[in-house]
Structure 1
């Protein structure tokens, strides 16, 4: 069953929420924005939440405010970073709460993984094909969020985020829930030898069998490859100790669905950004 459920309400942004988590754990909020329900004009039509794509900044901030209103949380709770496709994780405290929501200069710098046990902080990361990774420990009441493009994935940002949860807050992997959100799928994500070689290195490091490697990297007749980042991240999350039955994986492809999502690859690099969010209210 698709874990990200579309939410449509009159005069509000169209959102995709992790319905099972939110129903099972009161106070939990987690989801992913679409491209609809905002105020940005072409080519960022209309719910662009990225300040770094040459959209009008006032429109982006308004879109972010609309997201906050739609999920019923104070705008001051939403915390953003400048992502760099790395594997550094930050523990977000009250001191960082709300950073980056208004300007890029005030954002948390050079981080791609975020964890917190503070209620009232909404962790946010921006996407337009990369993989959003969500983590929740219902025992220790810890949430995590990671931005995993191919670079972050092979740098094991997923495992770094889980490790930070365990070392900082005492989370146990067997208690952590994980969700892999909308991203470019294996149906659309063509990569070259350089990327494929890095992926093979990671799979070799974890002792992945040949049939799994072939599932994640599929050769094409043109000498390139189709890469399944969602399955690769799932394998790495399992390697970190999270139980398979605690991992949700979307079937939504951003490149196949530019009617609903922004896609950097499909739209030639000039497009908006969605926001993945997670927090305990």
Structure 2
């Protein structure tokens, strides 16, 4: 697959034919391994071509598991340590341990609503899933805590980023000013068109100054910049501006590299974010 990659703040890596993205602010942390998958380097075909990491969309489970193993080998993660979310566009953040490894990958999902994962244990790899929704990744270098959350428009409007920070603070004693965060590749403000009821959800977030992330197009159509909403939500949760990286990649604009639900009218595979701590 030939792709043209242009980004000022997100790195494209190739290992053994597998392409994945990394983010400089997390790469600087020597106790963290992380990655965001692309479409390149897997075994799936048709609309799942080729690194599909989504179960239940029509690709075989065997292919999806092979793809996870290829990703883990490329990134340097232990496949047996993966723990998957069970996303339904809510804001529950699950505290996980090594006892949960394999859930959602080699073991059945045991909960129905998990849009965020967090841990303070090394060798536990948190995995969340996307195809236009906003990935949020977190690492606290003082407390050695990591988290990752899924923020679709509903999660973004419900301030998933703030909820995740609050859970990290409650469970592990994290100070928001210490947390390093990434707002990952998602459908951008260039492409995310919504109707009036969805727009009104964001227009009501007065404290975040919605004029900076919404625009009306007329005839009941509007633009919402989900990544900017999430950035402002993280700032309101106490994170420092210099500790937040917002990827400049739009999934729809880069649908040759990244799965996009909007670009394909739903005929697509899935992307995953991975984050883990070493000993």
Q: TM-score if structure 1 supplies the norm length? A: 0.93
CA offset at residue 107 of structure 1?
A: 5.5
Residues 136 and 181 in structure 2, CA contact (< 8 A), matched pair in contact too:
yes
Task: Give the aligned partner of residue 219 of structure 1.
Answer: 216
Distance 1:162 1:223 in 2: 34
Distance 1:31 1:66 in 2: 13
Task: Give the aligned partner of residue 178 of structure 1.
Answer: 181
Residues 101 and 107 in structure 1, CA contact (< 8 A), matched pair in contact too:
no
CA offset at residue 16 of structure 1?
A: 0.3
* Match status 1:246 vs 2:249: no
Q: Which among 258, 267, 270 is matched to residue 270 of structure 1? A: 267
CA offset at residue 208 of structure 1?
A: 3.4
Q: Which among 193, 197, 202 is matched to residue 200 of structure 2? A: 197
Distance 1:108 1:114 in 2: 12
Distance 2:56 2:231 in 1: 29
Residues 118 and 280 in structure 1, CA contact (< 8 A), matched pair in contact too:
yes
Q: Which among 2, 8, 12 is matched to residue 2 of structure 1? A: 8
* Match status 1:72 vs 2:76: yes
Q: Which among 143, 158, 162 is matched to residue 159 of structure 1? A: 162
Distance 1:271 1:108 in 2: 25
Residues 182 and 245 in structure 2, CA contact (< 8 A), matched pair in contact too:
yes
CA offset at residue 108 of structure 1?
A: 4.6
Count of residues in Structure 1 that have an aligned counterpart in Structure 2: 272
Distance 2:21 2:183 in 1: 13
Unaligned runs of 5+ in 2: 1-6
Distance 2:31 2:208 in 1: 38
Task: Give the aligned partner of residue 208 of structure 1.
Answer: 208
CA offset at residue 72 of structure 1?
A: 1.5
Residues 87 and 113 in structure 2, CA contact (< 8 A), matched pair in contact too:
yes
Distance 2:106 2:10 in 1: 27
Residues 86 and 109 in structure 2, CA contact (< 8 A), matched pair in contact too:
no
* 1:169-199 superposed Cα distances (whole Å, 9 cap, x missing partner): 0000010011100000011110001101111
CA offset at residue 254 of structure 1?
A: 0.3
Distance 1:88 1:267 in 2: 29
After superposition, where does 1:81-96 map in structure 2 within 5 Å?
81-96=85-100
Distance 2:275 2:41 in 1: 20
Unaligned runs of 5+ in 1: none
CA offset at residue 2 of structure 1?
A: 3.4
Residues 208 and 233 in structure 2, CA contact (< 8 A), matched pair in contact too:
no
Task: Give the aligned partner of residue 20 of structure 2.
Answer: 15
Residues 80 and 108 in structure 1, CA contact (< 8 A), matched pair in contact too:
no
| Bigger Cα displacement from structure 2, 83-92 vs 27-36 | 27-36
